[in-house]
Chains A and B, each alone.
Chain A
Amino acid sequence: MSSKAKIMMNSAMHYVMLSCDTATFLITKSDYHKLGCKENLQLRMHLMGCKLCRSFNKQNTFLSDKLTKIQEEPPLVEMSSEKKNEIEEILKKA
């Protein structure tokens, strides 16, 4: 490879190379917002070469799906009967 090509390769690598720290940051960001063109490309490139971040991405997406379920219908938890009685008393007196 010519030295000019090497320099171009190098700057291209710097353009696309993300750390796992930054890649998982972008994955988090993409849960809430659409990523910019450059961010999206950088993330795709990183994921191609990084098995751990691919796992993170997949598991995080899975969790996001479960979080939507919690948001739509929080699992039913019963309030203590003591508190229920207390509130009923307060409402009666109010």
Chain B
Amino acid sequence: MSDNKQIQELTPDRWVKDHGDYLFSYAISRISSREVAEDLVQETMLSAFQAKDKFRGGSSERTWLISILKRKVIDHYRKQSRNPEVISDTASFFYKGGANDGSWSTDHAPGSWDQYKMDDEDDGALLKVIQYCISLLPSKMQNTFSMKTLDEISTEEICKELGISESNLWVLLHRARLQLRECVENQWYKKQ
């Protein structure tokens, strides 16, 4: 059987030029430190170079590099998860005890976003604000949120990698969503 499919060739001398910013953008959307993100891109390209004989050409060069970077990001999360960090609950967002138990506390209740119109042009700027707000989350919360939301990794695997229980994971995701919403409101809607 003839196979005319062109076999993808690797061009390591062009990696930085062709994929550097793309890989960096991927990393920085998951790891808020520029320095760490740059180091991970470097490690990725070096590992890829050393493993270049294993590249089978089944995917594009970029997809292959991203798959290596993805693994490096998760390894970084796992290293970070060894640092002790208190998992905060949703306490400050809601009243505890009394007649209002579990209701929104006045300081954190959602405001209205309806009066603001969103142009597509604004979208890029808004995405940057969202990324900034994600970067403000404490690291364990941020990593859990990124793995679950941006990488769609299974609950089971996240718990294993980060050494947290399933109920911790849900507390972290809940808290992350509450903080993210509030941060975007403060950083975007209240500044318009």
Contact = CB atoms under 8 A, between A and B. Distances in A.
Contacts of B184: 59, 63
B46 A77 contact: no
Given A60-B181, A75-B131, A77-B28, A67 B174 contact: no
A55 B110 CA distance: 6
The range of chain B's interface size is: 35 or more
Contacts of B93: 21, 24
Contacts of B50: 94
A59 B180 CA distance: 10
A59 B170 CA distance: 19
B15 interface: yes
B124 to A, nearest CB: 6
Contact of A90 (B38, B42, B112, B170): B42
B24 A70 contact: no
Contact of A84 (B16, B26, B102, B103): B16
Interface string B60-77: 000000000000000000
Contact of A63 (B16, B20, B29, B130): B130
Contacts of B25: 74-77
A86 to B, nearest CB: 7
Contacts of B26: 74
Contacts of A67: 130, 149-150
Contacts of B28: 74, 77
B102 A21 contact: yes
B128 A75 contact: yes
Given A24-B174, A28-B173, A28-B177, A74 B46 contact: no
B94 interface: yes
B57 interface: no
Interface of B: 12-13, 15-16, 20-22, 24-26, 28-29, 34, 38, 41-42, 45-46, 49-50, 90, 93-94, 101-104, 109-113, 123-124, 126-128, 130-131, 148-151, 170, 173-174, 177-178, 180-181, 184-185
